[in-house]
Amino acid sequence: MEVVIERDAFLKGLQMVQNIVEPRQTLPILANVLLEAAGDSVRLTATDLEVGARVSVPAKVGAKGAITVAARKLAEIVKELPAAAVTLKVSDNVTVSLRCGGATYRMVGLAPDDFPPVVPASPQSWVSIETKILREMLTQTSFAVSHDETRYALNGVLFAFQGKDVRMVATDGHRLALSMRSLGQGVASATGIVPRKAVSADRDHGESVRAPDAEFRDDGSTDRGPVPELRRGDPEDSPQSAHDGSWRALGGASSCVGHGRGA
């Protein structure tokens, strides 16, 4: 395997997938990123067996092949390289050589044979959401995601598609966040819980979520329990109130609350 790839594009791709990688793994290969060179691109893949991320970066491929390398170490090295073309070459003993400018690095990788497959979703199951809308909805809901690892159903954001609308719901059992938007076109009804790690990746790299060369997906390997009741706490079932007026009322009430013993 031998490729020439632009440092900036390579670094961005690594940063997009490395957040999926857990630093402490029972399987050493899960701490690695899979590099696959073919055609006119290098595909980067990372997974923790629950969430998978895959990004394609344009490159000049001299010899196709595949290798897995420690994800965080590789990202740290590429980050320190100058903004120029990077030559990456893999020898027969799975040694990876990187050369950029006057700098040369060598890393020992692992054969790609044991890397868990990240199966792409079928084209029919994709739904397009504007980047700005996706980021806004995740920002409005992700803060309420539970960090209690024993409550799998609350460890993510519930996506619900119905007709032309999409809803995102998150709760930790004490607070509930709901965001609703119209997609402008009808889609098949579906619901699913996207885990916290995938939500963070989508929110942080929202400008790339729509692109055909990047995808984040839940591998669905964990049973997350029953889906929370959507209609409970739905503002459509509650008395209408003015948002600004509510905040003004809360502000007025807070001024009446004593601060200190002399209040």
CATH number, domain at 147?
Answer: 3.10.150.10
- Dihedral angle over CA of 67, 76, 119, 117, nearest 10: 40
**End of a domain among 114, 133, 168?**
114
Same domain flag for 129 and 234? yes
Q: Which domain holds residue 102?
A: 2-114
Q: Is 166 exposed, middle or buried (0-12, 13-18, 19+ CB in 10 A)?
A: buried
Same domain flag for 81 and 139? no
Residue 203 has what pLDDT?
60
User: Greater confidence, 131 or 139?
Assistant: 139
Same domain flag for 85 and 147? no
122-138 pLDDT, tens digit each:
655 677 788 888 889 99
In a domain, 207, yes or no: yes
Segments of 8-152 assigned E as strands: 32-38, 41-47, 51-58, 60-63, 65-70, 85-90, 95-100, 103-108
Same domain flag for 20 and 77? yes
Q: What percent of the chain has pLDDT over 70?
A: 73
The amino acid present at 103, given as its one-letter code, is A
User: Greater confidence, 228 or 153?
Assistant: 153
Residue 214 has what pLDDT?
42
In a domain, 75, yes or no: yes
How many structural domains comprise the chain?
A: 2
Considering only CA atoms, which of 104, 102, 72, 111 is closest in space to residue 88? 104
Same domain flag for 147 and 80? no
In angstroms, the CA 51 to CA 20 distance is 7
Residue 201 has what pLDDT?
67
State both tokens at 83.
């903004």
User: Greater confidence, 121 or 194?
Assistant: 194
189-208 pLDDT, tens digit each:
888 888 887 777 666 554 43
Same domain flag for 69 and 166? no
Considering only CA atoms, which of 64, 152, 73, 163 is closest in space to residue 109? 73
146-193 pLDDT, tens digit each:
888 788 788 889 998 888 889 999 999 889 999 999 887 777 788 888
6-15 pLDDT, tens digit each:
999 999 999 8
Residue 238 has what pLDDT?
45
Q: Are 66 and 151 in contact (CB under 8 A)?
A: no
Residue 210 has what pLDDT?
32
Same domain flag for 69 and 127? no
Straight-line distance from the first to the last Cα atom of the chain, in angstroms, rounded to the nearest whole number = 73
In a domain, 252, yes or no: no
Q: Is 55 exposed, middle or buried (0-12, 13-18, 19+ CB in 10 A)?
A: buried
In angstroms, the CA 160 to CA 76 distance is 38
Same domain flag for 24 and 44? yes
State both tokens at 68.
């897995």
Considering only CA atoms, which of 111, 196, 206, 209 is closest in space to residue 156? 196
Residue 209 has what pLDDT?
37
Mean pLDDT, residues 14-28 taken together: 82
State both tokens at 146.
């539970």
Enter the pTM of the model. Answer: 0.67
